[in-house]
């Protein structure tokens, strides 16, 4: 009599992403393709967790024996209160996007900034000494600005519609364990125009240009930028935002949010499995997933 092979993954082989909503996420396709390519018996799912249920969901990681999870909007900050430990860099960023379950002890990390820097390195973009402008003052902007400073960026300017939020972020960065000095400018101001005219790197960390509002842009005059500037948009839906389209037409180097998505995901593997995820496989799967969805 032939025995049927168990389809159970067993403890420590299940992972996933917590968010709300989360059905649109490309992460399951990206990680499951990587597992298959590496011959790993693991499974990654998407878990839609409304904010009031977050504490129970985190407790469920221990109860179910999940190896770990990624965390996305709107839980990156709130989740920190339910973890046993938060790594120093994640504490500085003020957000967690990766959780590891070590024998029931949940530890939070943030791989966004790390993935951002690796995606620049992949394109041969040197950060050290380069003047940078960050558009936005939310969680993504915090991670990007902190890591730009840590990587030795020259002049760093934060441009945001709410000056108070930008000033709060700049002050917070200055108090970090690895202090980062950032200037603040209002959109359209002389200070903003001056910073943009000298920028070697511009990073959009706002939702402007994201589906379905694809004609919005955080930067109305791309013509202000130097001819050798790099324009990076953390948005990956659509793959080419209006900002990137206009920058490309000017002949500037452009990078979309898929780069950061893939590299931060590959970095999460370092915490889960002790090795980097296969970037090329993950990129191909993420792009395929994004192209399948309208």
Residue-averaged pLDDT of the chain:
93
* pLDDT tens profile 206-261: 999 999 999 999 998 999 999 999 999 999 999 999 999 999 999 999 999 999 99
Give the residue-averaged pLDDT of 110-130.
96
- Distance between CA atoms of 118 and 110, rounded to whole angstroms? 14
Query: Which pLDDT score is estimated for 154?
Result: 92
**Active site (annotated) includes residue 76:** yes
Query: Which pLDDT score is estimated for 293?
Result: 66
- Of 28, 35, 57, 76, which residue is the catalytic one? 76
Nearest to residue 231, comparing CAs of 133, 121, 157? 133
Query: Which pLDDT score is estimated for 4?
Result: 43
Give the residue-averaged pLDDT of 157-185.
93
Taking a C-beta distance cutoff of 8 angstroms, is the pair 216, 208 a contact? yes
Query: Which pLDDT score is estimated for 177?
Result: 76
* pLDDT tens profile 11-67: 458 999 999 999 989 999 999 999 999 999 999 999 999 999 999 999 999 999 999
Alpha helix positions (H), 65-111: 88-93
Radius of gyration of the chain measured on its C-alpha atoms: 20
Instruction: Calculate what percentage of the chain has a pLDDT beyond 70.
Output: 95
In the predicted structure, residue 160 carries a pLDDT above the cut 80: yes
Query: Which pLDDT score is estimated for 294?
Result: 57
Give the residue-averaged pLDDT of 194-212.
96
Nearest to residue 213, comparing CAs of 186, 235, 181? 235
Confidence band for 179, pLDDT divided at 50, 70 and 90: confident
Nearest to residue 105, comparing CAs of 129, 135, 82, 133? 82
Instruction: Calculate what percentage of the chain has a pLDDT beyond 90.
Output: 89
């Amino acid at each position: 009599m032939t025995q049927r092979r168990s389809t159970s993954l067993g403890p420590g082989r299940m992972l996933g992403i917590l968010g709300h909503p989360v059905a649109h996420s490309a992460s399951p396709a990206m990680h499951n393709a990587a597992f298959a390519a590496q011959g790993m018996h693991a499974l990654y799912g998407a878990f839609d967790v409304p904010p009031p249920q977050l504490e129970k969901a985190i407790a469920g990681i221990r109860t179910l024996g999940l190896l770990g999870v990624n965390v996305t909007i709107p839980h990156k900050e709130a989740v920190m209160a339910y973890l046993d430990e938060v790594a120093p860099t994640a504490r500085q960023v003020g957000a967690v996007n990766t959780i590891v379950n070590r024998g029931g002890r949940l530890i939070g990390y943030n791989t966004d900034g790390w993935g951002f820097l690796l995606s620049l390195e992949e394109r041969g973009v040197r950060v050290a000494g380069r003047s940078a402008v960050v558009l936005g003052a939310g969680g993504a902007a915090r991670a990007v600005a902190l890591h730009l400073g840590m990587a030795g960026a020259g002049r760093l300017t934060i441009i945001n519609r709410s000056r108070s939020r930008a000033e709060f972020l700049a002050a917070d960065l200055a108090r970090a364990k690895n202090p980062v000095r950032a200037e603040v400018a209002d959109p359209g101001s002389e200070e903003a125009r001056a910073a943009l005219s000298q920028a070697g790197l511009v990073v959009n960390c706002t939702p402007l240009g994201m589906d379905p509002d694809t004609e919005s842009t955080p930067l109305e005059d791309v013509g202000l930028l130097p001819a050798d500037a790099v324009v990076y948009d953390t948005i990956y839906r659509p793959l080419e935002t209006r900002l990137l389209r206009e920058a490309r037409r000017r002949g500037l180097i452009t990078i979309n949010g898929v780069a950061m998505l893939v590299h931060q995901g590959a970095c999460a593997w370092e915490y889960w499995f002790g090795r980097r995820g296969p970037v090329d496989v993950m990129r191909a799967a993420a792009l395929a997933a994004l192209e399948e969805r309208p």
